[in-house]
Amino acid sequence: MSTENLEQAIALTKKFTSKPSNENLLKLYGLYKQATIGDNEEERPGGFDFKAAAKYNSWLSFKGKSKEEAKQEYIELVELLSKSHL
């Protein structure tokens, strides 16, 4: 897989035959958002929306990481996960 090709990595996740752990899913989400949008500047979700809060915090944890670094880490994580989820 080309290190520049985020789309290929995203497509590969759709072929997983088993679901990665919630921890890995959140990491994928955070890296994807950082790679495609950059730093999280959105408002923190309120109330009892724990799923949205977890996603928000995951993305926030990559603050300051360049889009290129986040893209590379996303691709590497997908390649690692594909060994046990394809």
pLDDT tens for each residue of 8-39? 999 999 999 999 999 999 999 999 999 999 99
* pLDDT recorded at residue 51: 95
* pLDDT recorded at residue 7: 93
Whether residue 3 has pLDDT greater than 60: no
pLDDT tens for each residue of 32-76? 999 999 999 999 998 899 999 999 999 999 999 999 999 999 999
Cβ burial, residue 57 (10 Å; 0-12/13-18/19+):
middle
Secondary element (H or E) of residue 7: helix 6-13
* pLDDT recorded at residue 46: 87
* Domains with residue ranges and CATH for the chain: 6-85 (1.20.80.10)
